[in-house]
Amino acid sequence: MAHRRPVDHVVPAAVGAVVVIGPFDGVHRSHLAAVASATRLARRHRSNVVAVVADQGEGTAQLMHVARRCELLLSAGVSSAFVAPLPTPSDVRDVLGPTLERMQPVAVLVDPLDWPMQPAAELSAYLRRLGVLVVDAARDGQHVAGAIDTSSIIEDVRRGDVVAAAATLGRPYELVGTVAARRPATPGGSPSVRVVVAPGVVLPHAGIYAATTLIGRRWVGAVVNVGADIDAHLVEPSSELHESEVSFRLFRKVHDAPSRDGV
């Protein structure tokens, strides 16, 4: 997966934009509401929405890799998204300050639910000194009803309760990774792949999960076996996964423990 850093070429296209900053881990309902707030504000200023996705480092538990977060934010209507190494909001001035100053944003939305409140307050004070309108996304009228703490979703996933995780996310929980090995279908069987997720990404509790994956333009049924390794078996023998990166939507756990001999 691509891992982008702030670069000069993103600045000209983003001058005068509305900026949303945060980890956006999971890109859940609360994050999407913040993007919607930013979009409404951008329309009033006839500008675009730019997302700065904070990379808090591999030592932080996360639902998904930062590259996937950027993809989901772009799908939600953000004009551009880039990754910045920001363990805490207090790092924004040192890491992102010069870039933000050249961008001259008309507004910045900050969601304190993803970061501790005190560093977020320091960030707000710094941005106000730049003459930027700072919007507390968690207190925005359109956003507060959907305020979500990402850590609660992580705990649901760790317990294997992907149904509860999906309810909070507002969409099915997805397990994203790269294909480490492929096994062609045997007579009467189904093809399967071994999947490796990015470091730091939280894995569901060991077990077997009913899932789907997108192949071409079709959603194909799958069974994902989470244990020491992650093995995914396609339900349709005629289907084949050719991509190196793959995403599985996990809908429910069907067994508490993974099978040693496959499915």
Annotated domain spans of the chain: 10-148, 160-255
At 111, list the tokens. Answer: 């969601």
Whole-Å CA distances, 239 to 172, 187, 215: 22, 14, 8
Domain 10-148 fold is: Rossmann fold (3.40.50)
Q: Residue 50's closest CA among 79, 73, 30?
A: 79
Assign domain 160-255 one CATH number from 1.10.3720.10, 2.40.30.30, 3.40.50.300, 3.40.50.1820: 2.40.30.30
Is 0.85 surpassed by the pTM of this model?
no
**237-249 burial by CB neighbour count: b if 16+ within 10 A, else e?**
eebebeeeebbbb
At 262, list the tokens. Answer: 């496959």
Q: Per-residue confidence of the chain (263 residues) as pLDDT tens digits?
A: 444 444 444 555 577 889 888 899 999 988 888 898 889 989 988 889 999 998 887 778 899 999 999 999 999 999 999 898 888 777 888 888 888 888 888 888 876 666 654 566 777 777 777 767 666 555 544 443 456 778 899 999 999 999 999 999 999 999 999 988 887 766 666 788 899 998 889 999 999 999 999 887 888 899 999 998 999 988 876 667 777 888 999 999 998 865 444 44
